[in-house]
Amino acid sequence: MKMKSTHARKLVTLTGIGVLAAALSLPALAMPMDNPLGTAVQAGKADREVTLADGAKYLNVRHNETVKINVGAKSFTWRFDTLGLPVIKLSEIAPSDIDAKNVTIYVSRDTSAAY
């Protein structure tokens, strides 16, 4: 009977260690994300370039797409590696010196990626 009790105790201990190790490793698996709206990128690294006309109301992009956005004489490049947000305001991501009010960005699912 003592052998069975020792075996059960070892099994419980090993299971507890395994669960604890798995729980502690979860943060390491999490994607580091400073901004859930995406990431600013160096100019020249864009998948495509878009020039917003005066009075533009929306912009369509794909999730994980990198777009150089021209507004007037200014521009910036943004990677839309969002956390599943389908709609964001351009004013939330544009540099403060760019007039980006009233433009909505629609982020569609990246159909080329395996989910």
Nearest Cα to 109, choosing from 62, 48, 39?
62
- Any idea which residue has 């021209």 for tokens? 70
Per the CB < 8 A criterion, the answer to whether 46 and 67 are in contact is yes
pTM above 0.85, yes or no: no
pLDDT band at 107 (very low <50, low <70, confident <90, very high): very high
**Length reported for the chain:** 115
45-54 pLDDT, tens digit per residue, is 899 999 999 9
63-85 pLDDT, tens digit per residue, is 999 999 999 999 999 999 988 78
Long-range pairs for 50-57: beta carbons < 8 A, 24 or more residues apart = 52/90, 52/103, 56/103, 57/102, 57/103, 57/104
